[in-house]
Structure 1
């Protein structure tokens, strides 16, 4: 029976309310780029406008609109409800309880089937995938936003020109991580065909490897942002220390006070030299450091030159100390030996900048001789590790080939061939030098090979 108020049959959505809602939805869709959601909601409104029955109130309109447009203003829905529900307060007194219970039940059903658990969503996805439309829309939005935020973060961080770019990049990385967290891993590779056809295609149909790559990219960006922030913090602290030391030097009244201020000044400059060059702060430091050093030399004169020499020696010592910390963890891999080699080369390069006229030239030369000798030992160890790794890998290849071509136990000629190949493997493994990362494994394989040869 058609719904009527005072004997007049009415539609569930009148023309005024429909026109108003259509304008607001078009405006909202244009600002958010929700073309698919707009079509879905407009289709609902057209259908409601053709149905005779109880006019929709604010809650009903919200149910039709806000699942597609969560940001729809509450004032908009209130105004639309007023336009659509004039003179129906008596109807709500009679049927409000029933409709309220039905609405709560329907919303409860939608909430239940859209819980982010495979045991709930998978059966529903097979039988009634349209009930999961909110979840599909959420996944589609998060996937698109994860890509967009990741690209924005990459541009902001890798092409940063100020600390504000780094901060904004960090925010984009955080948003990208949140978007990825909203994509259920169990859903990767699954695509509800009917729903995606209805929506004009789904953007989340990607593989687990691609998901892992996205995760890894966000992780790298987080690490880069962390490094950039640390570098900027170090730059700010160092520059503040420079200004404080300069003020102390200008206010000093005794040679001791001036020397103490110069030492603090030099220490602040040393902090600037330790900022990684590949960071934004490092790129900003180059010119500033040159200016600070020139000013320092003009003010401190010979003392500044002496302190600069001390800076280079101390910096060289720091590189050597970091390398020694790694060496203490031997045996080291090829990459670790290469890193140690690079650190000592950095130390040597800094010591080589000390000129004969500098006050600490003899001290720097002593360190230079020591570090040069250590460099030679490191190159020997690096070559030994490279050779040991190569010999071990070759032996493993021979073992795999041997296992692939084992002869029958009754083939005496084949057993002799196997003995010969085992001897070659043992000879290959014996070339692995002690102190390398694969030495213990090589000894284990030698013992196993000798035992096998005796069995043959």
Structure 2
């Protein structure tokens, strides 16, 4: 006979549905109660009575209907043994003083009583059973809330559950470690064996969950501070009217992003920050590049105003503008715009100090601009990469004509270093394109040869296909041959599986 029959189970389940809510905590509580009752359904022995059914639900649902409990107990056909237990409790009540003394938390008293009259320790057994259930229930809820948190509310609720579990742990009778009350558990079907290892495991789990909750709660502070710093920096940037104010806002913006990136990775706050950081960094980069270009334009306006009377100062202002423009990287979408501005500012400086060198540098920048524009939207064929490389080489040749004694020699050398770097990048891309096309050609030749003369040995056939795949894998990403190579790899892999 199972301890909880189907009829009683249905009555209790219907009332559980009425008592439970729809939030995450309520669903966890519901699962805990159902798990307890399912355990009774799988256990064989005397039928569970109203007291045991009440213990299974009342700590989670104090509002659970007493009427339903009575109906379920009646439907479950309670055993006569519970009347004996009630009789024992009544006798114990008549000797309240003796029971009180027997249940004092003193091993010298309890051990003899446990051996000779264990029923006198019924209050201690019930207390131990209650607090043990409290530990398990609250730790299960805390574990669910903390490790599967979706909001700060889950973390707060999980921390509360850990504290409640710790209170139950503190109330467990540590003096009874390793003792199993067979008489009590024969009547009440104890689901526990209170051992030293189990007690220590519960303590360690509570401490671990508490530490996770503490870390999660602490991580919310830098998350909030970082987001507030970023929002404030955005507002300051939008309201800034000078270069200094914009750069100050940019610095605050970067500090906010750095704070979010330093949040411990295993926390809920880090997961939340990670989902937002991509957008924050994109907006930050756009603002940073926009700040460089805007600052350069402001320096240009200031230089134009004082050029007739203070040409040397105007030249310095244009140099400041060029320094800002140099911060715009080659891969940025506004690179071409920045290069046009740089060419204009360089022309203005050179027009002031040395018209000849100014024309040389202006010509070199035209070639550089054409090369940068042709480089957009890769990949390109090897022929086009060669054309782009020639443009950079032409710009370099122009700059090398600026003499050491020319006033613009230093600026020409800066541009020369930049252009030589860009030429190196283009030459690398050209080499990758050439090698990848060669690898694709060889792979196609191997494919045609395999189709024309396939080997009769299946293993040799597969080995040749694998060789073709290895050849195709040498094709580098970012080349015109790469998409075709990937398509052929996929076809070859399908052939291997056949």
TM-score interval, normalised by the smaller of the two chains:
0.3 to 0.5
Q: Max radius of gyration: which structure? A: 2
Q: TM-score, normalised by structure 2?
A: 0.40
Q: Return the structure number with greater relative CO, CA threshold 8 A, min gap 6.
A: 1
Q: TM-score, normalised by structure 1?
A: 0.44
